[in-house]
Amino acid sequence: KGGFANENSLLKLLYAGILKAPERWTRPIQNWNLTLSQLAIHFPDRLEKYISL
C-alpha cells in the first residue's frame, strides 16, 4: 500500500484489475464442482434462483 497516494487509489487499481481479468482467463476453474457443492451447502438460498442443483 505504500506506493499509493491513498486507499481509494489502491481500490481503483484493484477494481480495474478485476474488470480486465476475464480477458486473460482462458483456463477452466479447477475443482469447480466441489466448490459449487460447498457453496450450495453453506449458502443454499443464494444459489437456488441462479442455478439448478
Amino acid code (one letter) for 37: S
pLDDT (average), residues 6-14: 88
pLDDT at 53: 57
Q: What is the 3-state secondary structure (H, E, C) of the chain?
A: CCCCCCHHHHHHHHHHHHHHHHHHCCCCCCCHHHHHHHHHHHCHHHHCCCCCC
Q: What is the pLDDT of residues 23-53, one digit of tens each?
A: 777 778 788 889 888 888 888 788 777 776 5
